[in-house]
Structure 1
Amino acid sequence: MELLGLDSFNLVVRHGGFGAASRACGQPKATLSRRVRDLEESLGVRLIERGGRSLRLTDEGAVLHAQTASPVEAINDALNDIRAGLGRPSGRLRISAPILFANTALGVLAAKFIEAYPDVILEISTEDRFVDLAADDLDVVIRANPRPDDTLVGRCFMRNELVLVAPPGLSRPARVEGSAERLTFPAVMRMGTGDDDVWTIIDADDGLPRRYHPKAVLRLSSPLTIRNAVLAGAGAALVPRTVVAEDLASGQLISWGTASGPEIEVWVLHASRRLVSPKVTAFVNFVCDHFNAPTR
């Protein structure tokens, strides 16, 4: 049966060889080898180059793995769910999340999720790069302001505004009545921002817009690192409110106002063209419930 051969083939590719795949699944190495060989014969092409010390796919093998790994695993997930009890979340759940979200919220969320669903094994990678669910062998991605993609579906579970924060001792630029405001101050900024950036801020005191011209004294890649630099007195910075909420509450930082414009939206997403397993549905709903996201 070609589906059985496909399953064995993708298992071998995922684990990097017949021996590792055999140890992972508990099936004899000879059985896996025979199934892959039968699949090659049925297709009339070689999929794996034999004889090397490491696994090497042929061009045909690489194409077959890229196009079948995710659908075959989705079918296996569905079969396993049925065997374990219809609708019962179980098995490995692979998630990609942004570094900031992972550092500030994901640890607690993951611990509560596995307490609620002990048969699910979470595997979480933290990265800010663009990921492809099929190519990167993922079930779920969490992303801020994701670009439109008709291959993904999901829900927005959190909105986050940008707030201009400073240490209490930093002098705030004085407003000049009757002038075109372009108030300059020392700033800690994200890498990639320009020297001519202007931030339009809704003032925390009177609710009126102010135009600030940040003068970069540091450029850093992480909002958490930026927050730490501001706490140390380097300057003011525009950061997500969730990063500095406790600092604002304790008075270690003060708010000069919030950025005008749309808020940051954080989404939990999964593939739209694959079987949605109970574990994926459970995780999406759990995340949204955890952050009290409105129902659709």
Structure 2
Amino acid sequence: MLGFSAVAKALSFADAARELRVSASTLSRRVARLEAALGTALLRRTTRHVSLTEAGALYLERCTDVLHRVEEAEALVSGLGGDPKGRLRVALPNLFGQLHVAPLIPDFMRRYPRIELELTFQDRYVDLVEEGVDVAIRIGALPDSSLVARRLATVRRLLVASPRYLRGRKPPARPQDLSAHPCLQFSHFADGETWTFSRGAERATVRVRPALRADNAEALRLAALGGCGVSALATFLVGEDVRAGRLVRVLEDWSIPEVGVFAVHPPGRLVASKARAFVAFVAERLAGEPWDSP
């Protein structure tokens, strides 16, 4: 099953054999024995290409989950007798992961040398079960789901613009004034084009006019620095820019709702000691919001 899965994902016996450290002929015989036992072809083979049959695609979906559960069970049991070990797949939001999780990794690896980390940095929604991910870190309101979540930290957002943009313009005096300004919108935030503000007991909801939408917060930061408009960006990203005067806070007496940073993992599975170790380590290091807030 492991050999078939490796070939199916690489679509190459040679590449899969190198990954598993066996010969291609040995791997081919193993897959052939599996097909004989199942009574159906899982792969189409030509001299140049390997592809999945319909049965192979269905079998790959099921056996990926089975192999993941086997790996979790082995890691959980082995972890009872010593340090956590095994491969740990973690999905991280791109920018937050680079700025605030990646710097923690060397210390984590020194503390848990038997864990093999596999990190992916991307802002898209990752299906943990479908993609075989052990832990994901997500920012923002979590949709209702069956995932188990642990809150790690809180992210505060600021409304900012560059001095260049504000030069010669009347700054917004109240949230409703934003309708007259081009706004820079982060695509993945649930609030979309409707921005909510609070000031004490006051609440204001404004429909903004996005001049730029992007699924990468760094692109929005660069656009704000370039004088393209007003944006709501996290303090972990623009705090230094505000302190240095490269960006200026707008509507400073109004607040934008904070969002949480969460570690999530699928329920109903053995939570391996390696996953528990990673979540606990990151939670410890992120406690108290390590980024400065202006």
What TM-score do the two structures reach when normalised by structure 2?
Answer: 0.78
Query: Matched residues in 1 for 2:264 and 2:186: separation?
Result: 27
Q: Residue deviations 1:216-274, cap 9 Å, x none?
A: 55444432222223233333221222222222333433332376574222221122233
Report the structure number with the largest CA radius of gyration. Answer: 1
Shift of 1:67: 1.1
**Partner residue of 2:227?**
233
Please say if residues 99 and 127 of structure 1, whose CA atoms lie closer than 8 Å, have aligned partners that are also in contact. yes
- Cα displacement (A) at 1:131: 2.0
* 1:235-254 correspondence to structure 2 within 5 Å: 235-254=229-248
1:149 corresponds in structure 2 to: 145
Quick one: structure 1 residues 39 and 215, their matched pair in 2 at CA, closer, same or farther if it must change by over 3 Å? closer
Question: More deviation in 243-252 or 263-272?
Answer: 243-252
Aligned length, in residue pairs:
279
SS of residue paired to 2:125: coil
8 Å Cα contact 2:76/2:270 also seen in 1: no
Match of residue 197, structure 2, among 201, 215, 239: 201
Partner-residue secondary structure (3-state), 1:289: helix
Change (3 A) 1:24 1:269: same
Q: How does 1:1-296 map to 2 (within 5 A)?
A: 6-79=1-74, 86-144=81-139, 145-150=141-146, 152-168=147-163, 170=166, 171-174=170-173, 182-184=176-178, 185-190=180-185, 199-202=195-198, 214=208, 216-255=210-249, 256-257=251-252, 262-292=257-287
Q: Is the 8 A contact 2:186 2:220 kept in 1?
A: no
Shift of the alpha carbon at 1:63?
A: 0.9
Distance 1:81 1:50 in 2: 37
Paired with 1:58 and 1:85, the residues of 2 have a C-alpha distance of 40
Secondary structure of 2:160's match? strand
Where 1:268 maps in the other structure, the secondary structure is strand
CA RMSD of aligned residues (A): 3.4
Aligned residues of 1:157 and 1:268 also touching (Cα < 8 A): yes
The runs of 5 or more residues in structure 1 that have no matched partner are 1-5, 176-180
Cα gap change, 1:103 to 1:50, in 2 (>3 Å) = same
Structure 2 unaligned segments of length 5 or more: list them. Answer: 290-294
- 1-structure distance, mates of 2:26, 2:247: 63
In the alignment, the residues of structure 1 paired with residue 254 and residue 31 of structure 2 have an alpha-carbon distance, to the nearest angstrom, of 57
Task: Give the C-alpha shift of residue 191 in structure 1.
Answer: 6.2
Question: Contact between 1:153 and 1:272, CA under 8 Å: does it hold in 2?
Answer: yes
- Percent same amino acid at aligned positions? 31
Whole-angstrom distance in 2 between the partners of 1:15 and 1:174: 57
Task: Indicate conservation of the 8 Å contact 2:72/2:271, yes or no.
Answer: no
Letter in 1 for 2:153: M
- The 3 A distance-change label for structure 1 pair 200 and 284 is closer
17 and 197 in structure 1: CA distance in 2 versus 1, 3 angstrom threshold: closer
Larger helix fraction of residues: 2
Note the alpha carbon deviations across 1:276-295, whole angstroms, 9 max, x for none.
Answer: 2222111111121111179x
CA distance 1:157–1:83, change in 2 (3 Å): closer
The alignment partner of 2:246 has SS state of coil
What amino acid is aligned across from residue 146 of structure 1 in structure 2? L
1:275, CA displacement in angstroms?
2.6
- Structure-2 change in CA distance of 1:54 and 1:133 (3 Å): farther
